[in-house]
Amino acid sequence: MPDSRPKSTDGLMRYLRDKKGISISGSSQKRKLMNIGYYHGYKGYRYINTPSNHVPYTKFEEVVAVYDFDAGLKSLFYPTVMLIETAVKNYVLDILVALTNSENFVDTYNQLLDNYKMFSTKGKTYRNAYDRQKAEEKFKRELKRRLDLRNRIYKVQTDAYGNGNKIADHYLREDANLPIWATFELLSLGEFGHFVSCLNQNCRTDISNSSASVSYVMPSSRRLFRISRSFSRKIHSSMRFLSSERDKSKSCFTSFSLSGPLPYRSFSS
């Protein structure tokens, strides 16, 4: 029966050695494990894509190299992503206010978040019953996406108020609707993408034409190459796998690619 008792850092190091076959010892590595965290620094990088595809670490330095690689990618792209997110949100906001003459989310929802209508089957003819059924299923999915968006936005507002968000507190305490700009401040980039995808085609065309002048500085290809080589050298020096399975895992980390596989972060087990 597995030992479910909580473990100290020393206990976690023993667990990594005895159960996971990862060499870790000494005060320096103990301090590093405490800095990156066992659950954040190791469990989040145990496998690639699926739990069955474990990364065959043998040294704690390999875990640290992957952790540093991930941290480096975040530090490289995060400022640029934030700049793009802010700019695009402002361009979208400008179009929404111009088209609705309102900053109320309800007006935007009723007037512009109606992309589902283009999939309506009313007045359309189809070659057979199967095609009609597929079209009706598509319409239903798009309508559900719109309803999901509304529910998500109200939940985001509720959560923000419950967590003491000053903007949400200011409006909701006065029994007023959050303006659309305040709602955008609460949405993640993924939620914002869902929002834009539900806007009707004419609105999205206006946004596309308006935001065509958005300018931002992406990391140069030379800088990307330099950083990727730096991380590749670190990982290459520590990950020396003998079996073919280990060689395949090694290649995932020693060759940098924006589209290539990286360890899938999971904290569930």
Percent of the chain with pLDDT over 70: 77
Please, which pLDDT band fits residue 245 given cuts at 50, 70 and 90? very low
* Predicted model pTM: 0.65
CA distances from 83 to 86, 135, 227 (A): 5, 39, 21
Quote the pLDDT of residue 44: 85
Ranges of beta strands (E only) in 3-91 are 47-48
Q: Which residue(s) pair with 179 in the sheet?
A: 104
User: DSSP for 178-242?
Assistant: PBHHHHHHHS-HHHHHHHHHHS-HHHHHHHHHHGGG----PPPHHHHHHHHHHHHHHHHHH----
Q: What pLDDT is stored for residue 220 in this prediction?
A: 54
The whole-number pLDDT of residue 188 equals: 93
Q: What is the pLDDT of residue 29?
A: 94
pLDDT for the residue 225: 54
Structure confidence by residue, pLDDT tens digits, 93-124 = 999 999 999 999 999 999 999 999 999 999 99
pLDDT of amino acid 40: 85
Of the listed ranges 50-54, 82-86, 161-165, 235-239, the one predicted with least confidence: 235-239
**Domain spans in the chain, listed from the N-terminal domain onward:** 9-72+221-264, 76-213
Two tokens at 230? 């730096």
Whole-number pLDDT of residue 259 = 38
Dihedral over Cα of 63, 66, 72, 77: its sign: negative
